[in-house]
Structure 1
């Protein structure tokens, strides 16, 4: 049966669709830009607000994988968007800012991720608090956009922290959203103002007094937090001290914004003394290590001093994807690799344990 002109396009299928096309680039701040993307063929996108996609770019002949949270809302299903901060020394964020232009393709996997908000449409309305710092605003912005589009009874407070007024992301849109929904309140906090832009609002950093003043009913809300680890730790302590039921506390645990600048430390598991050990050879790095049968390859490599790109360490993001030249592994992933990639010999070394000696192209 042929699709008529009035039939909607099919949904994006992560198993078969893997190319997005940049349609627009919108400047947010001096070092943050939003990239609007559609599928190469007509597709709609379904995902849960807060999820991310893994993007692959080729820089100086090498493929590099990076994860970026979708800042768009699934309530607008014809495109997706990522909002990316230029990270000093970050190869992918700088490449995106300097090279990705309308009409260009980019490889993508996903969407995926567990830091999400998708309230049932027929459920009684709940109250939310969104807390973000810097480029950590992207997943909670997706959540807020979706609520504004789909829940006319939304009751939410959005507190965003930035270094200065020039670093406020989505400031105009958030102000517009607050105008559309009387019970959607937005407050921004700047560490400092600038000679060009004196900040009239809250100054400094989020603390207990400011939180109590802006959100007196904090303990009645579901709290969603994203930002650098230090910020998240501070917020975690503040809401805990305020008496929030921590079952209502949700945070994004992957700091994708700093992935390009530094790699997380993934400790090796403690192996049983009698566990079988296998030799793992990395062809590009010209390194050879030993890895126990009960140890993930990435953990063993990190313990041996190798610096390899990784993010989630759960088989979700695809950042550590490698070609397995020879050998066999036991791999239990969580969506970060397609079946056809597995059939082509690719593995995620963060969730792969060796069952023989291995040769890996990395």
Structure 2
């Protein structure tokens, strides 16, 4: 590097991201690649997510997507999305987002990463687009050059629906220690399938990863799928302290955290008041209303994604007052100690002042 050259700074979320390519991956699945126009690079942990602000008709819509690229390749960042029936944001991306367009983004964030749980052996289990954080983590392991020990299981409707299949098979062909296992519900017409077929179960797990009891397990997919995986592992005597899952849906298996100092429960009959200090707006509400819903009723916009305390998009600073906050991991203890709350799952107790 020349003496007068300056290495680009890390992207800090203030600069809009520019879409540079759109890659079809599977039916209804596309990868969108973004760069920072300034040349800033991206710093995140493999498995984390990004929240995009989508300019859909009727107002901006915030949607959270797992990053499918790896921080070992920091000049760009990608999200791989699947359009589900009735989806608004993802379908807008597939129909409208093209190279050259720019979007606002928030993040990266999230705790679902192998960096937080180092181990000698890993077991990645995913279904559908839940493969994206696994792709990020495995790519990182591949790029750093050390030989990993990973059993990678992905379940799909049919072989043609397997996302990243060719890329993963290429990686596995170049390095020892990666075992790929595909499970499909049915085959494709005129395409013979010799892999596993049916619904993922305990028998398959024992055949695909006989030493599963020794592995750190990461799971991502639809909630019914993850529940089936949890039940299979529990039934086999797996130590669930070594099980980790990612979901943008509230899990019935986990207790949400209570961030109030005194275990005060919102009263449906009690009135509250929220002062949005930066906007000069004060809005009355019930204690059972959230800060997010109250802001919307007052005509104010707080960026939000999941709306139940997972993604952290709606994190705001609380200046004064008390809230009852039940979240699902979208905010850290340090942030709470510094006075931050998640608007989507924080209920005002009495009068509360926030920086909006």
Show CA shifts across 1:114-155 (max 9, x none).
1111179xx8x6100000000111111111111111142200
**1:47-196, aligned counterparts within 5 Å?**
47-118=44-115, 126-196=120-190
Superposition deviation, residue 181 in structure 1: 1.6
Q: CA RMSD in A?
A: 3.9
Q: 1:100 offset after TM fit, Å?
A: 0.8
Counterpart secondary structure, 1:59: coil
| Alignment correspondent of 1:265 | none
For 1:185 and 1:32, locate their aligned partners in 2 and report how far apart those are by CA, in whole Å: 24
Counterpart contact for 2:158–2:186, Cα < 8 Å: yes
- Which stretch of the first structure deviates more once superposed, 178-187 or 153-162? 178-187
TM-superposed CA distance for 1:60, in Å, is: 1.4
Q: Corresponding residue for 1:232?
A: 226
Q: 1:334, 1:3 → 2: CA distance? A: 41
| TM-score normalised to structure 2 length | 0.78
Kindly indicate whether the alpha-carbon contact (under 8 Å) linking 2:287 and 2:350 is maintained by their aligned counterparts in 1. Answer: no
What is the DSSP-based 3-state SS (H/G/I as helix, E as strand, rest coil) of the residue aligned with 1:47? coil
Q: Which runs of 5+ in 2 are unaligned?
A: 251-262, 276-282, 296-301
Give distance in 2, aligned partners of 1:119 and 1:191.
Answer: 33
Mapped partners of 1:119, 1:272: distance in 2: 34
**Quick one: distance in 2 between partners of 1:291 and 1:273?**
6
| 8 A contact 1:56–1:107 mirrored in 2 | yes
SS in 2 for 1:175: helix
Q: Please state whether the residue corresponding to 2:35 is helix, strand or coil.
A: strand
The structure 2 residue matched to 1:206, chosen from 196, 200, 217, is: 200
CA distance in 2, matches of 1:314, 1:3: 46
* Alignment check: 8 A CA contact 1:155 1:184 kept: yes
Change (3 A) 1:91 1:147: same
Q: How many angstroms does 1:220 deviate by?
A: 0.7
Contact residue 125 and residue 153 of structure 2 kept, 8 A? yes
Q: 1:27 to 1:12 in 2, by over 3 A?
A: same
Q: Distance in 1 between matches of 2:211 and 2:269?
A: 53
CA offset at residue 180 of structure 1?
1.4
Q: Specify whether residues 58 and 216 from structure 1 end up closer, same or farther in structure 2 by C-alpha distance, changes over 3 A only.
A: same
Instruction: Pick the aligned partner of 1:245 from 239, 245, 253.
Output: 239
Q: Quote the offset at 1:209 in angstroms.
A: 0.8
Going from structure 1 to structure 2, the CA distance change for 1:212 and 1:354 (only over 3 Å counts) comes to same
Return 20-29 or 189-198, whichever deviates more. Answer: 189-198
Distance in 2 separating the partners of 1:195 and 1:235: 29
Distance 1:31 1:8 in 2: 38
Distance 1:276 1:194 in 2: 58
SS at match of 1:236: helix
Preserved contact between residue 278 and residue 358 of structure 1 (Cα < 8 Å): no
The TM-score, its normalising length taken from structure 1, stands at 0.77
**Aligned in 2, Cα 1:116/1:312: closer, same or farther, shift over 3 Å?**
farther
Q: Is the 8 A contact 2:51 2:107 kept in 1?
A: yes
Q: From 37, 40, 44, give the equivalent of 2:37.
A: 40
